Amino acid sequence: MSSSSSCRVSGSLALLVCAFLCAFLCAFFCASVCSGSMPAATLGTGSPAHSSAEPFGASGLELTSIASVSSPVSIVNAGDSRLFIATQDGEILIYDGTLPLSTFLDISSLMGSGFEGGIKSIAFHPDYDTNGFFFVHYSDTSDASVVARYSVSKDPDVANPGSSVILITVAQSTTLHRGGQIQFGPDGYLYIGYGDGGPQTDTNCNSQTGDRFQGKLLRIDVDQNVSTPPHYGIPVDNPFGGKGEPPAEVWALGLRQPWRFSFDRVTGDLYIADVGQNTREEVDFQPASSSGGENYGWRIMEGTTCHDPDPIDPACPATTASCDDPSYTLPILEYATGVDGNCSITGGYVYRGPSIPMLTGRYLYGDWCSGRLWAADSFDGPWTTEELDISLTNIVTFGEDQNGELYLANGSTVYRLSGPSELFTDGFESGDTTSWSSQVP
C-alpha cells in the first residue's frame, strides 16, 4: 500500500487530512481478508503477549536473499550478531553480514544420505558465551538419529570437530519421519522432537506406544552429568519421570513429524508444527504454564479428524483412547493436505523483532509445496490466520536472530523477512511522527 505518497505533504491541514486518510485505510484493510487465505480452525487457546498488533492490509513484506547455501536446514543464533546456518550435508556455516560464509564445523563424514539424512537442526546452549556448548541433531551413516554436543575452539568462529559427546542415539527402522527440531526452552532445558519413525500411517503405533522415543517430544537437562554418561539428566518435573512408560525423557506424545517447533521468546509458549499424513497439517500449542504430558493424538487423530476409527488397531496399546477422546489435545490451527497445492507444513516463530510491528505477536508458518505463508494470532479470542502477500516454494526452515528478526530458507537460499517499516526512515509506516513538522519548507 503506497499511502505514504498521498500523505507526504506539508502544512498542519495536510497532517489532519493525512491522519484521517490513514485511519480510513487502516480500518478498511483491517476488516479485509486476503483472497485465497485458508480458513482458520478455532480449536484451542493461547496466551499472546498483547492484543494491539497492526492489521496487514497490503503489507509490503519482502524476502531479501542474504546468502546462497546448498541444502540449508537450520538457522539459529548464539546470542550474538552472527547467524549459524546448518546444511543437511553436515556443515555449519557462519553469516556475519558479509560474504562468503565461513565454516564453523564440518561433520559431513558422519552424515547419512537420503531425504531425511544428515543434519536436522542445531541449538546453542543458553550459556554458550561461557561454556561454548552447542548441540546437533543428525541422522548418521547407519540411519540412527543422534543428538550430540560439541564445543567451540579457542577461535570463536571455529568449532572443535573432535569435541563430540553423544547424548542420545535412536535406532530407526525406516528412513521416514525422524522429526529433527532441537531447541532450548525458556526453562533452560533442551527439547527434542522425534517423528513416528514410519512407515506411513505409523503402522507400529509408535506415537502412542510408551516404550520408545518415536512420536514424542523429549525434555532433558544437559547441565546434569556433563562429564559422565549419559551426559544429561531428567528434569525433576518431567511428567513421566519414575512412572514407567513413557520414558522419563518424554515431555509430550502423539506426534507424527514435528519437523519444526519453537518457543515464543516473550511468553514462553510452545508451537509445534506437525506434518500430516493425508488430510491435515496442524499446529499444536503448549502454554508456558503447561506441566507437560499432552497427547496430541496421532495416529488416532489427524488434526481434528479421526485417522484411526474404532476399534483401535491392535498395534496400539490396549489403553489407547478412542478418537475424539477428551484426553487428546487438539491443534490450535489446521489446514487441509492436498488442497490448493498444500502438502507439508513448515513451522516458524512468533515474530518479536522490532522492524515489522504489524507482525508482532503473530505466529508465522508456511507450506513446503505451495510456498504459501501465514500469520496466526488469538488477539480477539479464537485463533485466526491470514495469508501473507509473499511466498516461498519449498520452505525448509525458519530462523530467528538475536533481535527476533526472522529468516526463511528453501533448498538453495537463505532469506531475511523485511517489512515496510524498514523501507522508510521518516516514521510514517511505524506511526512515529515525532520528526514531522507543520512548517512549509
Which pTM does this prediction carry?
A: 0.84
Domain boundaries 42-422, CATH class:
mainly beta
For the chain, which residues make up each domain, given as ranges? Answer: 1-31, 42-422
Angle at 342 between CA 306 and CA 399, to 5 degrees: 105
Spatial CA neighbour of 258 closest among 178, 374, 351:
178
The tens place of each residue's pLDDT in the chain, 441 residues long, gives 333 333 333 333 333 333 433 333 333 333 332 333 333 333 444 433 323 344 555 478 999 999 999 999 999 999 999 999 999 999 999 999 999 999 999 999 999 887 788 999 999 999 999 999 999 999 999 999 999 999 999 999 999 999 999 999 999 888 788 888 999 999 999 999 999 998 899 989 999 999 999 999 999 999 999 999 999 999 999 999 766 689 999 999 999 999 999 999 999 999 999 999 999 999 999 999 999 999 999 999 999 999 987 778 889 999 999 998 999 999 999 999 999 999 999 999 999 999 999 999 999 999 999 999 999 999 989 999 999 999 999 999 999 999 999 999 999 999 999 998 554 444 444 455 454 544 444
**For residues 114 and 67, is the Cβ–Cβ distance under 8 A?**
no
The values of phi and psi at residue 152, to 5°, are -75, 155
**For residues 423 and 60, is the Cβ–Cβ distance under 8 A?**
yes
